[in-house]
Amino acid sequence: MNYINFTEDKLRTFTYHIFKHMGCSNEHAKLATDVLIRADLRGIDSHGVARLSGYVRLWEKKRINTTPNIKIVHETATTATIDGDAGLGLVVAPFAMRVAIEKAEKYGSGWIAVKNSNHFGIAGYHALMAVEKDMIGISMTNASPLVAPTFSKERMLGTNPMCYAFPASKYPPVIVDMATAAAANGKLEIAQRAKKHIPSGWVQNQAGEPSVNASELKEGGSLLPLGSDKDHGSHKGYGLGATVDILSAVLSGANYGPWAPPFVAFLEPSANPVGQGLGHFFGALSVNGFRPAQEFKDHMDNWIKRFKNAETIHPEQRVIIPGEPEFEFEQERKAAGIPLIDVVVNDLNQLAEKLGVEKL
Amino acid sequence: MNYINFTEDKLRTFTYHIFKHMGCSNEHAKLATDVLIRADLRGIDSHGVARLSGYVRLWEKKRINTTPNIKIVHETATTATIDGDAGLGLVVAPFAMRVAIEKAEKYGSGWIAVKNSNHFGIAGYHALMAVEKDMIGISMTNASPLVAPTFSKERMLGTNPMCYAFPASKYPPVIVDMATAAAANGKLEIAQRAKKHIPSGWVQNQAGEPSVNASELKEGGSLLPLGSDKDHGSHKGYGLGATVDILSAVLSGANYGPWAPPFVAFLEPSANPVGQGLGHFFGALSVNGFRPAQEFKDHMDNWIKRFKNAETIHPEQRVIIPGEPEFEFEQERKAAGIPLIDVVVNDLNQLAEKLGVEKL
């Protein structure tokens, strides 16, 4: 497995042209590019340009509308439901978060449920939009069903990430951005490429038996909820996944549970949908609505400092602040460039050739 | 271990008199009793009358004020910070939730951070107050530090529960009410009484080594976050615990992280507090702010039905809907009474004798 290094600019230009080719407006292509590249910058490689050909395949299948009329279909002072018009989640999600932030500026908080959308990239991107305004940002989405509830062998929930982002003062923001499964798909893919077994507790086989096979999902198995088994609280991971599913999809009018449309284009969405497209949920909470923002951020600094100094088990370890590794990646990759594995580069160049876009 | 059965009324009367003896008003004594008895009814025995003598001991140490002046100290249209005036969390929390609900009735949502409070009982009680109004209820609290972050051996967070409650139509509400640790203290106590080992992944010893000793916490060990170890996502459980801590305490001005005051009266609170008392966080989201409530509740019924019918691994198993076991306990115990273990009954009767209240 070889890595090839690219500048941020190079990847941005490439990605922008792919989205333009798909028919996105300049503004939408720029925004979708920003969301994807931010994932690569932040070290969340599974959600960056590596997904580009997946979005293209969905667009080819006419499951993504690149000229969507994104609109508010239901609204109160601090809540709204948005119809994403089958647009790229990468574009629909920032639209929704902007509405949440506007409401929070006026009324202290804003809460948006989104239906009829698609995969929205990294949850952290959207939540961070609020943090820049001294707000607490919340973002979540449901996703293709891959996770089995406790005691079940059926794929009923997506890896359904939830993200909470909190502004700090001297330190970077605290960002809890996590799949509600024990391990997300990206980790399985890394083990597949390295031809390694995965730890027990990540997946089960088609019969619901424990498995360490990194390819188990391709053979009809399912991911396990955070907690892995009942003894270790898998009912909690299942409950969190359910929470994300209900807020994102039952509340908005999107497809929930096993009806959530698959991200991969070779699987068809349900013939009997219970809603429209995929669902998201966003929140913006103005810190000034609770206490002066600077006071909060100073205490956040103190919180971070104290947790950084928590006693470690082994001297060489450190206690990690949620969001810190991604922040460090971003500093490093902004300076030194973004490494992509050769498999991804080949995939992107084949895509470029097919679409008549300049190769990487 | 023997169980003695009591009627709900009998336990209510007893508990009410204890709170009255502590100096609570009739209204507060009734409310605090309702929160505690609801825990026993719902099968969450660790949070019911078994805790009564714990509250009394804190009151004896003057750490609970039974005549609090609970007040809003900061407010916007949809947010507020409440000072609990060192009152019983059992009383402060429903006060705060009522404010959240009033705001949601006017503006679609209401969000309340609470400082200067104490243990608030079961999170589900408060969240369910919103459900009765066709709202989504959210409640969380920080707690005595017992949980070590990933890679640490230091107790930095409480078991910090988060609760999300969703109304349904024909089915009982979906209630996700969970500690963010792999296993809460109550499960350790059950194993201690039964003189059994606990599963690996619940606790670590003082040196941060894996342990199956149910008494490990008494020997300086710590609870592990949901996920148990890094491979299985303990950084996620730690992130969730951190989220609850920040929303409940950093946002409100309460004590956070290792500064959170201990529930047990024999441990003193920090001599250098970073805030006031314990913190909570509550939310009420009006379903009608997103889509007509009946439409949402019909889809919730469909969600519940589909998950109940998910294929199980073993034929004798069933997929459990979050909140279902507690609902079943409540139906059963309302009819057949509440069983208490003899240790708890003895403890309560000693308390009664000391305070001059009629015994059970």
**pLDDT tens, B202-225?**
999 999 999 999 999 999 999 999
Take residue B30 and report the two structure tokens written for it.
Answer: 């009734």
CB within 8 Å: B154 and A311: yes
Distance from CA of A318 to the nearest CA of B (A): 7
pLDDT of residue B89 exceeding 80, the answer is: yes
Alpha carbon A308 to chain centroid, angstroms: 26
Provide, as residue numbers in chain B, all residues whose Cβ is less than 8 Å from the Cβ of A179. Answer: 236
The confidence band for B128, taking pLDDT boundaries of 50, 70 and 90, is: very high
Distance from CA of B111 to the nearest CA of A (A): 8
The average confidence (pLDDT) of chain A is 97
B348 φ, ψ to 5°? -65, -40
Interval A220-249 mean pLDDT: 98
Question: Which residue in A109, A207, A235 is closest to B79 by CB distance?
Answer: A109
Provide, as residue numbers in chain B, all residues whose Cβ is less than 8 Å from the Cβ of A227. Answer: 182, 226-227, 232
CA separation (Å) from B66 to A32, B36, B56, B164, B174?
A: 55, 16, 10, 29, 33
- The total number of structural domains in chain B stands at 1
**pLDDT tens, B149-196?**
999 999 999 999 999 999 999 999 999 999 999 998 888 988 998 899
Short-list B196, B181, B148, B240, CA closest to A241? B240
Distance from CA of B356 to the nearest CA of A (A): 42
Provide, as residue numbers in chain B, all residues whose Cβ is less than 8 Å from the Cβ of A107. Answer: 76-78, 107
CB within 8 Å: B243 and A290: no
CB within 8 Å: A319 and B232: no
Distance from CA of A125 to the nearest CA of B (A): 17
Expressed in angstroms, the distance from the first to the final Cα of chain A is: 18
CB within 8 Å: B320 and A251: no
Distance from CA of A296 to the nearest CA of B (A): 6
d(CA B301, CA A144): 21
Interval A86-111 mean pLDDT: 98
Site of tokens 């309702």? B34
* Residue B46: other Cβ atoms inside 10 A: 15
CB pairs under 8 A between A and B: 269
**Pairing verdict, β A203-204 and B203-204:** unpaired
Alpha carbon B180 to chain centroid, angstroms: 11
Site of tokens 């300076």? A335
**pLDDT tens, B267-326?**
999 999 999 999 999 999 999 999 999 999 999 999 999 999 999 999 999 999 999 999
Interval A110-124 mean pLDDT: 98
d(CA B312, CA A311): 43
Entry pTM: 0.98
Q: Within a domain: residue B188?
A: yes
Q: Within a domain: residue B328?
A: no
CB within 8 Å: A290 and B236: no
Provide, as residue numbers in chain B, all residues whose Cβ is less than 8 Å from the Cβ of A146. Answer: none
Distance from CA of B158 to the nearest CA of A (A): 14
Provide, as residue numbers in chain A, all residues whose Cβ is less than 8 Å from the Cβ of B204. Answer: 313
Q: Within a domain: residue A309?
A: no
CB within 8 Å: A136 and B251: yes
User: Mind spelling out the 3-state secondary structure of chain B?
Assistant: CCEEEECHHHHHHHHHHHHHHCCCCHHHHHHHHHHHHHHHHCCCHHHCHHHHHHHHHHHHCCCCCCCCCCEEEEECCCEEEEECCCCCHHHHHHHHHHHHHHHHHHHCEEEEEEEEECCCCCHHHHHHHHHCCCEEEEEEECCCCCECCCCECCCCECCCCEEEEECCCCCCCEEEEECCECCCHHHHHHHHHCCCCCCCCCEECCCCCEECCCCHHHHCCEECECCCCHHHCHHHHHHHHHHHHHHHHHCCCCCCHHHCCCCCCCCCCCCCCCCCCEEEEEEEEEHHHCCCHHHHHHHHHHHHHHHHCCCECCCCCCCCCCCHHHHHHHHHHHHHCEEEEHHHHHHHHHHHHHHCCCCC
Q: Within a domain: residue A314?
A: no
d(CA B312, CA B320): 10
d(CA B151, CA B73): 38
d(CA B100, CA B84): 15
CB within 8 Å: A76 and B291: no
The confidence band for A189, taking pLDDT boundaries of 50, 70 and 90, is: confident
B220: which residues sit within 8 A by CB, 6+ positions away?
B205, B206
d(CA A127, CA A75): 21
Q: Are A232 and B201 in contact (CB under 8 A)?
A: yes
Percent of chain B topping pLDDT 70:
100
Question: Which residue in B74, B174, B235 is closest to A290 by CB distance?
Answer: B74
d(CA B138, CA B130): 8
Tell me the one-letter amino acid at A63. R
pLDDT of residue A1 exceeding 80, the answer is: no
Provide, as residue numbers in chain A, all residues whose Cβ is less than 8 Å from the Cβ of B300. Answer: 246, 250
Provide, as residue numbers in chain B, all residues whose Cβ is less than 8 Å from the Cβ of A148. Answer: 310
The average confidence (pLDDT) of chain B is 97
pLDDT of residue A38 exceeding 90, the answer is: yes
Distance from CA of B47 to the nearest CA of A (A): 18
Short-list B157, B120, B127, CA closest to B141? B120
CB within 8 Å: B107 and A78: yes
Question: Which residue in A108, A166, A287 is closest to B77 by CB distance?
Answer: A108
CB within 8 Å: B250 and A152: no
CB within 8 Å: B319 and A149: yes
Residue-by-residue DSSP string for A75-91 = E-SSEEEEE-TT--HHH
**What pLDDT is recorded for position B185?**
86
Domain of B25 in residue numbering reads as 3-292+342-355
How many residues are present in chain A? 360
Q: Is A112 in a helix, a strand, or coil?
A: strand
Question: Which residue in B250, B258, B299 is closest to A296 by CB distance?
Answer: B250
The complex's ipTM works out to: 0.98
Provide, as residue numbers in chain B, all residues whose Cβ is less than 8 Å from the Cβ of A258. Answer: 306
Provide, as residue numbers in chain A, all residues whose Cβ is less than 8 Å from the Cβ of B150. Answer: 319-320
Short-list B307, B179, B324, B168, CA closest to A149? B307
**What pLDDT is recorded for position B1?**
74
Interval A70-91 mean pLDDT: 98
Take residue A330 and report the two structure tokens written for it.
Answer: 């971003």
Provide, as residue numbers in chain A, all residues whose Cβ is less than 8 Å from the Cβ of B274. Answer: 299, 302
Distance from CA of A357 to the nearest CA of B (A): 40
Cα A234–A165–A324 angle (5° rounding)?
85
Distance from CA of B311 to the nearest CA of A (A): 6
d(CA B106, CA B75): 14
The confidence band for A184, taking pLDDT boundaries of 50, 70 and 90, is: confident
Sign, Cα dihedral of B146, B226, B128, A114:
positive
Q: Within a domain: residue B34?
A: yes
CB within 8 Å: A242 and B111: no
Q: Are B255 and B279 in contact (CB under 8 A)?
A: yes
**What pLDDT is recorded for position A344?**
94
**What pLDDT is recorded for position A252?**
98
**What pLDDT is recorded for position A245?**
98
CA separation (Å) from A267 to A65, A263, B34, B299?
A: 18, 8, 51, 24
**Bridge partners, A223 (sequence order):** A147, A203
Whichever domain contains B253, its CATH number is 3.30.1370.60
Short-list B17, B120, B247, CA closest to A174? B247
CB within 8 Å: B257 and A303: yes
Looking at residue A288, the DSSP 8-state letter turns out to be G
pLDDT of residue A289 exceeding 90, the answer is: yes
CB within 8 Å: A238 and B322: yes
CA separation (Å) from B240 to A106, A159, A164, A179, A315?
A: 28, 16, 9, 12, 25
Site of tokens 């599913």? A245
Q: Within a domain: residue A325?
A: no
CA separation (Å) from A221 to A48, A155, B311?
A: 26, 8, 13
Which of A79, A163, A206 best tests the B interface by mutation, with the highest count of B CBs <10 A? Answer: A79
**pLDDT tens, A140-177?**
999 999 999 999 999 999 999 999 999 999 999 999 99
Residue-by-residue DSSP string for A166-215 = E--SSSPPEEEEE-SBSS-HHHHHHHHHTT-PPPTTSEE-TTS-EE--TT
H-helix or E-strand spanning residue A328? helix A324-336
Q: Within a domain: residue A297?
A: no
pLDDT of residue A186 exceeding 90, the answer is: no
Q: Within a domain: residue A324?
A: no
